[in-house]
Amino acid sequence: MDRDRELVHDFRSAESSTSQVPSTIGRMSLWPKSLRVTRVLVVMFFTTTVLLASALAGGWWWVSQLALKPVAFDGPPPKKQAESASIPVSPLLLRYQLDLPGRGEIFPALMASNAADYWPVAILTITNQADRPVLQEITAEVPGWSRPMEQTIVLGASETRSLRINPELLPAAYANGEIRRSALRVRVKDPAGAVAFSQSRPVLLHSASDLFWGKKFANAQVVARWVTPHDSSVLKLISEAKKHVPNGRMPGYNRSRATTSPKSMAAQVRAQAKAVFEALRNSGVSYVSSIYTFGNFVGEAQRIRFPRETLSINTANCIDMSVAFASAMENLGMNPVIVIVPGHAFTGVRLGPQSQDTLYLDLTVLPRGTFEQAVARAENWIRKTAPNEVLTVDVASARVLGVYPMPMEAPPVNEPGVTEKAQSSSSERQRPALDASPVQN
C-alpha cells in the first residue's frame, strides 16, 4: 500500500510539473528575441557614432587644408603688378574719350548737393589694349573756377574704365552772378611723366543763383541751398521782427511756462511767423516776376535770388520770398518748408518740433496784404491743387540728406578765367519755369 501511495504521489507531482512546463518555456523563449533587438540597437548606435566621427574628422581636415592653402592670384603679386604698371606702354595701345553729358553746363548749386538729376562735368573713358596693366595720372580743372582734380589709377590688361570728372569749385564760382564761358582742361600722364592725352573743352559756368530743376522737379530738394539762415541780411530781418512780438522774444520751439501743449506751441510759432511777415511788409518788399536764365536748359532752369539780394533790393518773386522767410524760420530753430505747385511756390513752417501740422503762407500778397490773407491764399492753393501736384521741400529733411546752405562769399575781383557773358544763340533763349504770370490776388 505504501508503495502504491508513493507511486500515486510521484505521478501527481510529475503531472503538476508537466503542466507548468509550457509557461516556463514561453518565458524562456522571450530572451533570445530581446537579445536580438538589443544587439540590433547596439550595432545601429555604433555605426551612427562611427559615421558622425568620420564626418567631423573629414570636415576638420578639409577646413584645415583650405586655411593652409596659399591664395592663388589671377595675375602677378600686387608688388610685381604695380612695378609692371609703372612701365609705360605704347600710346597706340591706349584709347581716350572725353564726353560732356550736360552739354558742358555747370550749375554750382548742384555740385556736392546729392542732386537726383544732374551730371558730372565730364566723363573720361580710358581703354587699355595692352596685355599688362598700366598706370595713369589724371588731372582736370576749370581754370579760375575750380581746384585741380588729381587721380591716379591702375588699368588692368584689356580693361576699359569710365571716370567721372568733377573738379571742386572755388568760392569765386559761388560768387559769380552771371553765366560765363570757360574751359575744362583734362590731361593724362604716363608713369614717366609724358603726356598721353590732353584736351580742352568749352563749358558754361552758371551763376550760383541758377537752379536746374531736373525732369519733373527731381532736384526740388536743392532749393534748400537758398535757405541761408546765417546770412547777415536774415539776422537783420529777425532783428526787425522782434519789434512785433511781446517783449521782443523769438524763442523758436523752446518751451516756456505758457507753452504746455501742442495748441500753445502752435500759437507761439504762429506769433513768430507773423512777426517775420510784418518785418517783410515793413521793408517794402514787393512781387516782381524775374526768373529768366540762359543756356541749353532754359525750360528746366530758373534764377532764384538769395535772401541777401531780395532783402537789399526789396523785389522778389514767389520762390525768392519763400526762401527768405524760410531762412528766418530756420535761424530761429524751427522747421520751414517750401511748397511747389504748378507755376507757383509758397512757404510754411511746422507748428512743433515733431509736428507735421504746418502753417502755410503765400507771401505774394506783400506789400499790401495781411498775414491772414497770406495764410488764406496758401490754403487756397492747397485745396485747389491735386495732391500729386503738390511738392513739399522739408528743409530739415534736406539737411539730413546733405543739402546745406550755399557758401556765402564776397564777390571776387579780377578772378582769372572770367570772360564775357555767353552770347551764343543757345544761351540767349529765355523762358520762365515758375511764376509764368503774376499770381492774382
Domain boundary among 14, 38, 69: 69
Nearest to 131 by CA among 100, 159, 158, 104: 158
Residues 63 and 88 both lie in one domain: no
Residue 170 in any domain: the answer is: yes
| Total number of domains constituting the chain | 3
CA atoms within 13 A on the CB side of 423: 3
Q: For every residue of 235-297, which 3-state class applies, written as one string?
A: HHHHHHHHHHCHHHCCCCCCCCCCCCCHHHHHHHHHHHHHHHHHHHHHHCCEECCCCCCCCCC
Beta-sheet strands, E only, within 326-372: 336-341, 344-350, 358-361
Strand partners, 347: 338, 361
435 in a structural domain: no
Residue 398 and residue 364 in one domain: yes
| Same-domain check for residues 295 and 376 | yes
Q: Which residues contact 241 (CB under 8 A, 6 or more apart)?
A: 250, 272, 275, 276, 278, 279, 328
Is residue 328 domain-shared with residue 362, that is, in the same domain?
yes
Asked if residue 400 belongs to a domain, the reply is yes
| Secondary structure element (H or E) that encloses residue 204, with its range | strand 195-205
Domain termination residue (choose one: 34, 69, 104): 69
Q: Give the cell for residue 409.
A: 562769399
Asked if residue 106 is part of any domain, the answer here is yes
**Residue 97 falls inside a structural domain:** yes
Q: Residue 144: left if φ>0, alpha if ψ -120 to 50, beta else—which one? A: left
pLDDT tens series, the chain, 441 aa:
454 555 445 545 544 444 444 444 444 454 556 777 777 777 787 888 888 877 887 777 766 665 555 544 444 445 555 566 778 888 899 999 999 999 999 999 999 888 999 999 999 999 999 999 999 999 999 999 999 999 999 999 999 999 999 999 999 999 999 999 999 999 999 988 999 999 999 999 999 999 999 998 999 999 999 999 999 999 999 999 999 998 899 999 998 877 779 999 999 999 999 999 999 999 999 888 776 566 667 778 999 999 999 999 988 999 999 999 999 999 999 999 999 999 999 999 999 999 999 999 999 999 999 999 999 999 999 999 999 999 999 999 999 999 999 987 544 434 444 333 333 333 333 333 444 333 333
User: Residue 84: its pLDDT value, please?
Assistant: 67
Domain assignment present for residue 150? The answer is yes
Termini Cα distance of the chain: 149
Looking at the structure, do residues 280 and 376 belong to the same domain, yes or no? yes
pLDDT of residue 56: 80
What's the rounded Cα separation, in Å, for the pair 204 and 421?
9
CA 184 to chain centre: 27
What amino acid is encoded at 388 in this protein? N
Check residue 37 and give its pLDDT: 74
The verdict on 222 and 362 lying in the same domain is yes
Q: Identify the helix (H) or strand (E) that includes residue 38.
A: helix 2-68
236, 341: one domain: yes
Grid cell of 280 as nine digits: 517783410
Q: 89 in helix, strand or coil?
A: coil
Please calculate the CA angle 201-205-211 and round it to the nearest 5 degrees.
135
Distance CA 104, CA 123 (A): 11
Coil vs helix vs strand at 209: coil
Task: Count CB atoms within 10 A of the CB of residue 381.
Answer: 18
> Last residue of a domain, which of 13, 43, 69?
69
CA pair distance 204, 311, nearest whole angstrom: 29
- Are residue 222 and residue 330 in the same domain, yes or no? yes
> Residue 11: what pLDDT?
43
Q: What is the pLDDT of residue 23?
A: 46
Short-list 21, 42, 39, CA closest to 31: 39
pTM across the whole model: 0.72
Same-domain status, 177 and 304: no
Strands 105-106 and 195-205, sheet pairing: parallel
The answer to whether the CB of 280 falls within 8 A of the CB of 286 is no
Q: 386 and 149 in contact (C-beta within 8 Å)?
A: no
- Residues 199, 228 within the same domain: no
In a domain, 374, yes or no: yes
Q: Where are the beta strands (DSSP E) in 80-194?
A: 94-99, 105-106, 122-128, 134-141, 149-155, 160-165, 180-189
Q: Which residues contact 385 (CB under 8 A, 6 or more apart)?
A: 341, 342
Is the residue at 85 inside a domain?
A: yes
CB 83 within 8 A of CB 135: no
**423 and 350 share one domain:** yes
Residue 23 domain boundaries: 1-69
| Whether residue 358 is found in the same domain as residue 241 | yes
